[in-house]
Amino acid sequence: MTTADYTPTIHVRGKTAIVTGGGQGIGRAICLAFAREGADVAVVDTNAESAAAVAREIEALGRRSLAATTDVCDLDQVTSMTQQVIAELGHVDILANNAAVVGLVGRFWEMPLDYWHRSINACLYGTMNCSKAVLPHMIERGSGRIISIASDAGKAGEPGSAPYAAAKAGIMGFTRSLAKEVARYGITVNSVSPANTRTPSFNKLVTPELAAKMMKRYPLGRFGEPEDIANAVLFLASDAASWITGQVYSVNGGYFIG
C-alpha cells in the first residue's frame, strides 16, 4: 500500500481500551469518545459507583464495558485489573493513563509530605504501573497505543502546585523514553497536556472570582472542556496517528505556547 492509497480515519473500531480515572471528568469523556468511535472500554477508578455508571453509559452506546475498582498506585491491583480486562474483553489495544490526585494548593515548603507522595504516586507511578502491566500483552500482539495525561503545569510551572507539576513533568519524560524503547514492537507512546479544564474537581475548587482572573491567561477566551482533551486522546489512539510517538501535545487554549 502506498501513501496515496491510505486514508487514515479517526476511529478505534474493534479496539479495546483501558481508561484510568475513568469515573468522571476527563476520564469519563475519554471513555465515551472511545465508545462512540467503536471501542470496548474498561473503566478504571477508585470509586466503584462512578466507574459502574460510566460503564453503563458505554454499554448504552452499544459497546462492551467493565468497571474495575483499582488503585493505580498498587502494581498488584493494576496487574490483576489488566488480566481481568484481557479475560473479559479479549485484549488491550489502548491504555489511557488519566488517573491523578489534585486538590491541594499551597506554598511548597508548607505542604505536608503526604501530599507529595499522593500526587507523585497517583500521577507518575500510576502511569508507570499501568504501562508496565499492559506492555507484555501489547508486545506479544505487536501493536498498542499508550496515551498519558500530563499537564501544562509541568511545562510552564504553576505556583502552588509544585508536587503535581513535578509529577506531570515526570510523565512527559517517561513518555519520551518509553516511546523509544517500545517503537520496535509497533507500540506508540504519547502524552496530552491540558491546561485548566472544567472538570468536577475544577468547578469545586475554583470560585467565579478566581476563574475571572485565570481567564486572562487564555487567548482563546475559555477554559477547556473534558471533550477537548478526549478528542486529542482519541486522535492519538487512532490509525491517523500511527507515525506519531514520543510527543507531548498541549491542549490548552493558548495558555502556554512553547
Burial classification of residue 137, based on how many CB atoms lie within 10 Å of its CB (0-12 exposed, 13-18 middle, 19 or more buried): middle
Task: Give the phi and the psi of residue 108 in degrees, each rounded to 5.
Answer: -55, -45
Alpha carbon 179 to its chain centroid, in Å, reads: 16
Task: Give the phi and the psi of residue 16 in degrees, each rounded to 5.
Answer: -125, 130
218 is catalytic: no
Residue with cell 504519547: 190
CB atoms within 10 A of CB 243: 7
| Active-site option among 164, 218, 249, 255 | 164
Q: Please, which residues bridge with residue 250 across strands?
A: 193
229: which 3 cell numbers?
A: 482533551
User: How far is the C-alpha of 30 from the C-alpha of 145, rounded, in Å?
Assistant: 14
Residue with cell 480515519: 9
111-130 as b/e: b if 16+ CB within 10 A: beeeebebbbbbbbbbbbbb
Asked if 201 and 139 count as a contact pair (C-beta separation under 8 A), the reply is no
| Residues recognised as catalytic | 164
